[in-house]
């Protein structure tokens, strides 16, 4: 039996792993997709303390992983199907139908990028539709692209793409951005970026590849077509909590409700990172959640023994 099973290998899960294993707990991290989660999509972290020159998402995750391995955290590329709670243990059912028993669970499942849900989006995935500017930006050198969204991610990625492409349409459904001021200032100064407010994407157009996008003004209902070669979508996130929705309390958006000690409604099950209902979702806050969750998992295990 494990002491701690951590679901999700992003900053929250890896930090929880480091703390748990360092305090002598038998710990495994399960990650079904990509270690690092959303942050590996990021070319440059400017606000993580300790790296004044900035660091890329994947470089920092490499370091997190190295540190976790140093403390003998087990890692595994397995998806979790469901979690069952019993009096003395928890059962983590994997997608490959095997089962792991554990004393505690830390849910560090993060969040996934939302889709537009419009015609053409699925059809042109990998053919001009992208959710990762750092991965795919290079395929659009000297071309025209659209970036959809108005938050920090949308503006950061648009600024990244501006170094590569000829022109960017930055399309947002509201009449102002949600992003922090420093990013808004940089965007407004960038002469490759044309800002289009009050517009939503109705359809992504093309033949074999993306050729254009049909947008609609939410106020005037006027539609227009822009010629583009690529479209990068940053419209928000949905927490990855559906697989535990039968057991764990969430808010109406699916964010897991946990208190300051990262305790969910089930004793011995903790939440950490972007999947948790909270006000600031950053690497640094994910790490903090992970450390607190691991520390409380340890206390819970000690209390079980007593």
Partner 1 sequence: MAVEVKLTTDNWEQEVLKSDIPVLVDFWAPWCGPCRMVAPVVSEIAHEYEGKLKVGKLNTDEEPDIAVRYGIMSIPTLMVFKNGEVVDQIIGAAPKEYFTQRLDKIL
- Using the structure block, give the residue that is written with the tokens 């053919």: 127
The SS3 of residue 141 is coil
Q: Is 40 in the site for partner 1 (CB under 8 A)?
A: yes
- Judged by CB under 8 A, which of 52, 87, 96, 207 binds partner 1? 96
Q: Is 10 in the site for partner 1 (CB under 8 A)?
A: no
Phi, psi of 262 (to 5 degrees): 70, 15
- Using the structure block, give the residue that is written with the tokens 């991610």: 153
d(CA 148, CA 155): 9
- Judged by CB under 8 A, which of 12, 61, 205, 213 binds partner 1? 61
Residues belonging to the active site: 132, 135-136
Name the segment binding partner 1 (CB under 8 A); options: 120-128, 158-166, 196-204, 274-282: 120-128
Overall residue count recorded for the chain in this entry:
306
Q: Is 109 in the site for partner 1 (CB under 8 A)?
A: no
236, two tokens:
């928000």
The SS3 of residue 78 is coil
Q: Are 271 and 292 in contact (CB under 8 A)?
A: no
Give least dist CB 143 to partner 1, A: 10
Q: Is 164 in the site for partner 1 (CB under 8 A)?
A: no
- 129: how many CB neighbours lie within 10 A of its CB? 22
- Judged by CB under 8 A, which of 128, 212, 239, 290 binds partner 1? 128
Q: Is 156 in the site for partner 1 (CB under 8 A)?
A: no
Nearer to partner 1 (CB atom), residue 64 or residue 300 = 64
Nearer to partner 1 (CB atom), residue 134 or residue 153 = 134
DSSP at 9 = -
Q: Is 230 in the site for partner 1 (CB under 8 A)?
A: yes
Q: Which distant-in-sequence residues (6+ apart) come within 8 Å of 94 by Cβ?
A: 30, 78, 79, 80, 81, 100
Q: Is 32 in the site for partner 1 (CB under 8 A)?
A: yes
Under the rule (CB under 8 A), what is the footprint of partner 1? 32-36, 39-43, 56-58, 61, 77-79, 95-96, 125-132, 134-136, 138-140, 208-209, 230
């Amino acid at each position: 039996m494990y002491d701690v099973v951590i679901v999700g290998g992003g900053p929250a899960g890896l930090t929880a792993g480091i703390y748990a294993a360092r305090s002598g707990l038998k710990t495994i991290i399960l990650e079904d997709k990509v270690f690092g989660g959303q942050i590996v999509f990021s070319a440059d972290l400017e606000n993580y303390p300790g790296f004044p020159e900035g660091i890329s998402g994947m470089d920092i995750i490499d370091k997190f992983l190295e540190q976790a391995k140093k403390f003998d955290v087990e890692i595994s590329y397995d998806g979790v199907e469901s979690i069952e709670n019993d009096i003395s243990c928890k059962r983590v059912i994997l997608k490959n139908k095997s089962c792991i028993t554990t004393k505690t669970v830390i849910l560090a499942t993060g969040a996934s990028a939302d889709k537009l849900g419009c015609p053409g989006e699925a059809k042109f995935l990998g053919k001009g539709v992208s959710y990762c500017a750092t991965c795919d930006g290079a395929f659009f050198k000297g071309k025209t692209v659209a970036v959809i969204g108005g938050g920090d991610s949308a503006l950061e990625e648009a600024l990244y793409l501006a170094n590569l492409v000829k022109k960017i349409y930055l399309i947002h459904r509201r009449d102002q951005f949600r992003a922090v001021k420093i990013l808004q200032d940089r965007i407004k100064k960038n002469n490759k970026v044309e800002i289009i407010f009050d517009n939503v994407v109705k359809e992504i157009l093309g033949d074999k590849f993306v050729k254009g996008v049909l947008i609609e003004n939410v106020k005037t209902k006027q539609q227009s077509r822009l010629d583009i070669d690529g479209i990068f979508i940053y419209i928000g996130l949905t927490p990855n909590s559906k697989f535990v929705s039968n057991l764990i309390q969430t808010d109406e958006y699916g964010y897991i409700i946990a208190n300051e000690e990262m305790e969910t409604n089930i004793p011995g099950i903790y939440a950490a990172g972007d999947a948790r209902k909270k006000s600031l979702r950053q690497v640094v806050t994910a790490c903090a959640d992970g450390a607190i969750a691991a520390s409380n998992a340890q206390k819970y295990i000690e209390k079980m023994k007593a």
